[in-house]
Amino acid sequence: MSKPFVNLRGIPAVRYQDNNAAVAEVELWWQATPRWSLLGFTGAGRAWGRRDTFSQAETVSTVGAGFRYLIARKLGLHAGIDFATGPEGRAFYIQVGSPWR
């Protein structure tokens, strides 16, 4: 069974995991045209429990930007690409819909 982990764009999946995990992320959109949008985001997270207490655990943070195109107006469905930088390097993501769960 897998443990909770820090799930943020720019952080490798399951890299920071322990008995508990917490994340906070904010995303800001700018509607450039009726179909095209630009966005920026940042987030931070921490995993703790078995090895560290909450205050001892390392906080990891990310920052990034991307764009979206409205591919289905009636459904409100966007697709695009995000570029993120985290503590271990850069990553890019192809997004369809929302990256938020």
pLDDT tens digits for range 12-49? 989 999 999 999 999 999 999 999 999 999 999 999 99
How does residue 99 score in pLDDT terms, banded at 50, 70 and 90?
A: low
Q: What pLDDT sits at residue 37?
A: 96
What pTM value is reported for the model?
0.86
Positive or negative CA dihedral for 100, 84, 27, 74?
A: negative
Q: What pLDDT sits at residue 9?
A: 93
How does residue 51 score in pLDDT terms, banded at 50, 70 and 90?
A: confident
The average pLDDT across 60-75 equals 95
Report the alpha-carbon angle 15-19-21, nearest 5: 60
pLDDT tops 70 at residue 79: yes
pLDDT tops 70 at residue 100: no
Q: Long-range contacts of range 77-86, CB-CB < 8 Å, 24 or more positions apart?
A: 78/37, 80/37, 82/9, 82/39, 82/41, 84/8, 84/9, 84/10, 84/41, 85/10, 86/8, 86/10, 86/11, 86/12, 86/60, 86/61, 86/62
Structure tokens at 44: 């931070």
